[in-house]
Amino acid sequence: MVDIELKRDRVVIRFKDKKWEWMIEPRYWRNSIFWVALLLVFPAVAYFISPGLINTMISANLYAAIALPMSLMTLGTGRVNFGPNFFVGVGGYAAALLSIAYGWGPLATLPFAILITLFAALVFSPLVVVARGLYYVLLSLLLPFVFFEVTIIYTDIFKGDTGLFGIKPLLDLGNARINFLVIAYISIFIMVLYLLVINKVIKSRYGLIMAAINDDEEVAHGIGVNINKVKILSFVFSAGMIGVAGWFYAHYFSSFAGQTYLTFAFMLKIFLAMMIGGRTQVFGCVVGGYFVAFLEMILIRTMGPIQAVVFPLILIILLFVLPEGLFGIYRKRRYREYFPTIHVRR
């Protein structure tokens, strides 16, 4: 029998041994609904005012969609991965090669891109068990660089610096501007879905276990937590989510090149989107993604080629000026305990 209990700030539903809760107090959902509504309105407004902003917004959503699972990976493994673009490359190349070889569209290549990325993550998952500290940083940083060298060596497969072309587009509605608009909403959907899933995981019992491992592995092991299993699951699951971003890039641009996504510059954007948002806070990843994307756009328009030097300098300076990140400013003024925070021990 279903038991429904109405409390002051939540609705509780119980069915057998299951329990679900929904927050109904305005402070728990008011801000979330406002920002999601703003994200939904922005592309439609940009469509009539400045269509170029839609492309920047898509980039921001993808930066956030990579930074979000990267934050989850950091929490679950207790280590910061400096090579998330390796999984972007795996997912992107898998989708690109399948689309070119068999003429598959995005819906057909998506499950294979995810599965291949999961397999690659599973192969390299022992790194989170055997390596730690500086060794893990160096190994994770080398993965995308080694993959990039592989794409250069096997030019007949990956087409080297020029990359792969002729990939089936993500959408083809007969109008380029409408394509951009619909793709923008798809990118918002992916980013918001990641945000909801990761936020739910962090607040769950599994998130508590990951936090215990991140805080002290020996204590977590002492209370019966299978540390290695949790680390590998966190690593592989997060990598699969990042691989979807590579699939999106491949079909969005109808091309994919390691020169763009397997370089240090792209990795720096993702890492800084995660950190500038607020020390790997989940909601801060969205703020950081938008800040990095729009700052890059402004510098390209105002400074031209010199932005390649100015852009990382500004971001690095902000890391020192705002140690809590941009989202940390909001937290100090309107603090809410339900905002998840990730503390990295190693």
Nearest partner of 106 among 97, 95, 114, judged by Cα? 95
Nearest partner of 248 among 138, 121, 109, 133, judged by Cα? 109
For the chain, the three-class secondary structure string (H helix, E strand, C coil) is CEEEEECCCEEEEEECCEEEEEECCHHHHHHHHHHHHHHHHHHHHHHHHCCHHHHHHHHHHHHHHHHHHHHHHHHHHCCCCCCCHHHHHHHHHHHHHHHHHHCCCHHHHHHHHHHHHHHHHHHHCCHHHHCCHHHHHHHHHHHHHHHHHHHHHCHHHHCCCCCEECCCCCCCCCCHHHHHHHHHHHHHHHHHHHHHHHHHHHHCHHHHHHHHHHHCHHHHHHCCCCHHHHHHHHHHHHHHHHHHHHHHHHHHHCEECHHHHCCHHHHHHHHHHHHHCCCCCHHHHHHHHHHHHHHHHHHHHHHHHHHHHHHHHHHHHHHHHCCCHHHHHHHHHCCCCCCCCCCCCC
- What's the start-to-end Cα distance of the chain, in Å? 47
Per-residue model confidence (pLDDT) at position 174: 81
Q: Which pTM value belongs to this model?
A: 0.86
262 vs 124: CA distance, rounded Å:
17
Per-residue model confidence (pLDDT) at position 326: 67
29 vs 32: CA distance, rounded Å:
5
119 vs 113: CA distance, rounded Å:
10
Which residues does the chain have with pLDDT short of 70? Answer: 1, 7-9, 22-31, 277-281, 323-346
230 vs 129: CA distance, rounded Å:
10
Backbone angles phi, psi at 80, to 5 degrees: -85, 120
25 vs 47: CA distance, rounded Å:
35
Structure confidence by residue, pLDDT tens digits, 39-94: 888 888 888 888 888 999 999 999 999 999 998 888 888 888 888 999 999 999 99
219 vs 231: CA distance, rounded Å:
15
Per-residue model confidence (pLDDT) at position 79: 83
Nearest partner of 324 among 345, 338, 341, judged by Cα? 341
108 vs 100: CA distance, rounded Å:
12
- Supply the mean pLDDT for the chain: 84
